Structure formats: C-alpha cells, structure tokens
Amino acid sequence: MPERTESESRKLLRRLRDTLATTGGGQDRLDRITHLIADSMGTEVCSIYLFRDPETLELCATEGLRPESVHQTRMKLGEGLVGRVARTGLPVNTANAPQEKGFRYMPETGEEIYSSFLGVPIQRVGEKLGVLVVQSRTAREFSEDEIYALEVVAMVLAEMTELGVFNGDADGMRALHKQPVMIRGGTGQEGAAEGRVWLHEPRVVVTNPVADDPLTEIDRIREAVGKLRVSVDDLLSAESLDKDQKAVLEAYRMFANSRGWLRRMEEDIQRGLSAEAAVEKEQSAARARLEQVPDAYLRERLHDLDDLSNRLLRILTGQGSDTGAAMPENPVLVARNIGPAELLEYGRKLKGVVLEEGSVGSHAAIVARALAIPLVIHADRITTEALNGDQILVDGDQGIVHLRPEETVARAFRDKIAMQAAAQQRYASLRGLPAQSKCGTVTTLMMNAGLMADLPSLDGSGAEGVGLFRTELQFLVRNKMPQRAELAALYARVMDAAHGKRVAFRTLDIGSDKVLPYMKPQDEPNPAMGWRAIRVGLDKPGVLRMQLQALIRAAKGRPLTVMFPFITELSEFQTARAMVMGELHREKSLGHPVPARVEIGAMLETPSLAYAPRTFFELTDFVSIGGNDLKQFFFAADRENERVRRRYDTLNVSFLRFLSQIIARCAETGTPLSFCGEDAGRPVEALAFAALGLRGLSMRPASIGPVKALLRRVDLTEARAVIDAAMEGGAETVRPALMDWLAAQPE
C-alpha cells in the first residue's frame, strides 16, 4: 500500500474522532473504529484487544475475524503475538505470523488465512490498556510509516479508553477506574483504615487527543518546552542543592534540551495528535523501552523522564498539583513516593498512606509510624489505578489495598476495624495496670517515638516511658543542618511532655535507608552495612557533639538517657561515651546546669556486639536490642527485600538461642536489657521474649494494650517450659508449640 502522508494521518484521526463523537454504546463505537482503521490502512483485519483483568486480554472488537469470537477469545499476558505486545509494550511486525516465535493459533477467529501481522500497544503513561492489531493476507512487513500511524491511532484509543468512551453493557467493557481492584504490596506500618483517595500528584487528564491545526499545536509545545527549560534552570541555580540533587536536575535539563525529544513530539503533532497527546505518546514509548533495560541506572532515568513529562503536561493543561479539589473526609494519601517533610505537612488528618515505592525503613515509614497511621508500600500501579475520591481500604497488617471495593469486601473490612476498636477499648481498662504475668513477673512496656505529636500517646497507651526516641526526623525534614538551639528546645519539650517518665534519646541514626539531603556519603553497594549511624557520628564528631550539647541543655538538670545506635565493638562505645563525658564537663565549666543523672547505653543491632568483651557490658548503663537490624544481619535477609524479609521467623530456635546468650551476658554484669522493634509489639513474640528473660520491651503505642493483655493472662514459667521443650524436640521454630499452648489458656 502507499506510504501514509502526514495529511492522510490527520485525516484518519479526524475520522476517528468523528466516529468517537457519534452516539451509541461502547461496543458499537469499537466496531465502527475497527472498520474505519481497516479501511483507512487497506488491511483485511483490524482487531482491538483490551485487558479484562491485569493478566487477561480479550478480543473486544474486530473487522475481518469471525464476529462470534468477540468477547470469547482470550489470552494471558505474554501469550501469543498479541500477548507479547501487551507484555513488552513494543510493536510486533511480521510478514509471516504463523512462523513467528510464540505465535498462538486461535481457531475460533479464522485468522489462519492472514499472514501479515502488526500489533501495537494501547497504553497510557505506563498503564497498559490493550493491543491494536491489523492483519492482511499478503505476506509483507508493514512500513515504518504504517507502524507510526497505527501507534498514533493507539494513543488516541488509549486516551478515549481512559475517558470512558467505550463504556457499555457488553461483557468485558466495564469502565476504567470503576472496577474493584485489590493490590498486594508490603507492610510499612501496621493498622487498618477506610477512607477516600487523595492523590499527592493528581493525574493529568488529556481531553483533546486529536487536533486540527498542527501549526498551533507545535507553537504550544515549543512554548511549553521553553517554560520547562527555564524552570529547570531556575531550580539548578538554587544554592541549597547538594551534589545528588544537582545530578538529578542535570538529567532533567538534558531531557528538556533534547532536540530528539522535541522533534519526535512535533512529528506526532504533524500526524494529528494534540500537544498533550504527543507528550504522553513519547512518555509511554520511553517507559516501554526503559522497562526492558536491565541496567538500574537507566531504569532510574525513567523516573526523571516521567517527572519531566508530567511537568510539561501541567504547563500545557494548566492542571497544577493544586487542582482546587477539596480534600475528602478520611483522606488516604496515594503517591509514587513522598518525603518526610511533605508527609508531615499532611499530618494526622490522613487515615493512611499507600505508596508505589517506599521501604520499611524509609523516611515515609518512619513518619507513618510516628503518626500511627497504616502504610502500605510497593503497591504496584496504585497511582495509575486510583482517582481522587475513590473509596479505599488500607490493610497495613497484610500489606493489601482494596480500591473501590465490592460491598461484601468493605463490610468484612469494617468488621475487622470494629473488632480492633473494641479490643482497644478493652485494653484501655488495663492502662494503669502493670504488665504482670500470673507468675508475678513484671515486664516494663515502653513506646517508640520520633515526633512531639507522639508524646500524648505516652499517657493514653499506658507506656511506662519512651524506650526509643528517634532524633533523626528533625534532621530529615530540613534541607540544612538544624541549629543546636532548635534541637535543645525540641528535646526540652519532649522531656516536658513525658512528665518525668524516662525518655531514651537515640543519637542521629542516618545512612542506609535514611539519607540526609545535605550530608550524603559516596554511593555504597550495600548501605545497610556501610557508613551509617554511630559511624557517621564518629567520623563527623562536630555533628554528634552538637547533638549531645543540645540534649544536655534540654535536660535542664533533669535525668538524661542517651543511646548510641549501631555499636558493633567496644572501642566505638568507649569513644562515643567519652564524647558525652567531655560535653558534660564542658557544659559544667561554662556554668550551664548538667543533668542530675546520665544513662549512656547502646543499641545491639549486630551479632558482633553480643560477643564484645565483658568490659563493654560493665561500662554501658543499658543495652537495647535493635530487633529489626539484628534480625536482618542474623539471617542475612535484607529487611528492604520483600522476597526474603518475611522468610525467617522471629521465633526461629536459632534466633531465640542467640537472644538467650545476650540475656545471659547482660545478667552476668547486671546490665539492664530491653528489646526494641516491630517484633516487640507483636503479642506472641513479646510473650516469647518475656519468657526468655527480657524485662523491657519498646514498641509502637497501639501495641502496648494487646501485649499487656496477653502477658497478664499467662504464666511465663509455663511459657518458658513450652519453648524449651520445642527447642529440645528439634523444632525449627517454637511458634506452633507456643500457639497451641496459648489456645489452651483461659481468657
């Protein structure tokens, strides 16, 4: 067939737009579109396959194949040539389809007589919607121009699908963003919440994919790109940028000034697309290409291009991040990722947070824990599935999100929330009682905190103190180092709010997954085992001394408890402890009041410290087991890796034996010992720790009630006997034995 000229491409798109504008149901529109495309491209067949669910494609309309196969022919993602296009997001063009690798014959379609095959994805900015196919009897490959023309048509179909043009009553033709969706992610913070979606970055809606005047559209795209370049240059001129921020913006500038990028968008416009649709077409094509690239650095550039394209779309459409929409009641924040300062701005008005990215130790997770709101991470495609105002259920316990749930699901979820609320009311009656087991053993239950907003939970939860106050949040939410006076005032307010209860301030714990924007190390292949926590403090003593001075001044003569993170050997603790003593001497010599009593402790987060010389246990005033990191290093299971972090049971016999060794070493020297981390707040794990001899547990405030309730109804001596019997019996984990024993205990 002859090459498509630019005017013919625009003519096809205008005919397509006119067809879409006519009245009729979704199926009727699809049927007319397939006829139109086959006629315009001179092919015997045109078919549209749309996703019925994330893994299944369905033939929804065809010109040329057997009509009875519509809504009957289905294939899995990656199955056949159509499935390959859907999986890769890249075209398949072949002169002999039956001989092509992966070809799947569908006898009900009658397609065996068609040799040539061209399939292109129907996709919109990473959201795969379906596949558009043309076929002909003649054995030939389609030209570059024909491929390009079909991609442009597919782009318009994607926009129309997004806008609901094909919605109807036909099977498989339900509207996008109307169907119930369940997304399985990871647990960032436990808890359950029901609310309405609030998108951190609202989707840009393109309502005009086809344009009549290419010259006007080209002027628009050039003007918008010019504004984009100026905005990136302005950002780069900011003095507060660090090296890595500049590197990202330099990548932005490279894309923004790419002649190839602008040229391709102008070519798309010449074919008949509007400026906005041209931006999205190139964004979708780049996404498809980069998603196939194994190199992590190149894949990261995908985010740069995404962000830049979104900025350009907002310039073109005027749809800024502030759309004027009112935040719904009970908002659940949905975002690709979010920084701690931005999340803190939303504050406690949020019912929950759902992120496409994130990690269990990310800044957002730390803030979510501080705000006591459920967080689900790694929720794949949530930002493309969700719309502002959508009903959403967040199950932080299971790491599951239900978007636009069916009523049966919502009802069951509400029952779960009601049961949790009723349980919390029961726990409230225990608030003033000690966690005393039937055998008379008392376990001290403390809470973890990191914000002033946490402190009201100290009285409400029944916590006996703060076993861990994370001081890094005050550093993470700023773009420059906080001043000593600022920190001293904050720490003083924390002590005031504690009303005399003990607060263990952990010194700055940065590095690994907590990186300060103004103090970044060189890239490290394994940051969890790199330059972090006390290692940063000892290498940059000025920062650590400044924080110690702020803590001493905040005490104003009251008792002070300081805890150093990630101590791995005796000498690190000796050096850090000497710094505290030096600052105490300095403050006293300046005439400033010093704390009435100072406790200096260490977090045991690596197995090496458990085998430190006896001198360490004699020198330190207390030891707090940092369970999250210790488990990571003990099992060699990266806590940020969803595939392995849940693989190993905390009640594994090997891990419990290791904890017993730590307990014994501390008992020899009379060193107070506690366990801090997520596992301390899980009642069965807390029971096991207490039975082994741990007399202090620190957890999130909401966990104190459930843990106390369980400890008060059991005999720890009996629980220890169950654990010992399971160990001696060769069990890999004591959990089954402990659960069976608990089931037999009276309520």
CA gyration radius for the chain? 31
Catalytic residue among 46, 60, 363, 666: 363
Residue 425, burial from CB neighbour count under 10 angstroms (0-12, 13-18, 19+): exposed
DSSP result, 477-499: TSSSPPPHHHHHHHHHHHHHHHT
Q: Output DSSP code: residue 454.
A: G
- For the record, the structure tokens of 134 come out as 């043309």
d(CA 338, CA 355): 8
Cα separation of 430 and 420, whole Å? 16
Residues β-bridged to residue 76: 56
**CA-to-CA dists, residue 66 to 56, 70, 75, angstroms:** 20, 8, 17
Contact at 8 Å (CB) between 532 and 523?
Answer: no
- Residue 152: in which H helix or E strand, if any? helix 144-162
User: 3-state class of 717 per DSSP?
Assistant: helix
> Is the separation of the CB atoms in 512 and 549 below 8 Å?
no
From the list 468, 466, 474, the residue with the least C-alpha distance to 367 is 474
Q: Which of 425, 495, 461 is nearest to 697 (CA)?
A: 461
Q: Please tell me the distance from the alpha carbon of residue 4 to that of residue 2, in angstroms, as a whole number.
A: 6
Name the region of 75 (left: φ>0; alpha: ψ -120 to 50; beta: rest).
beta
Please say if 363 is a catalytic residue.
yes
Structure tokens at 307: 């962000």
How far are the Cα atoms of 388, 566, 629 from residue 604, in angstroms, in the given order?
A: 44, 7, 9
Is 46 among the residues known to form the active site? no
Q: What residues are annotated to the active site? A: 363, 676
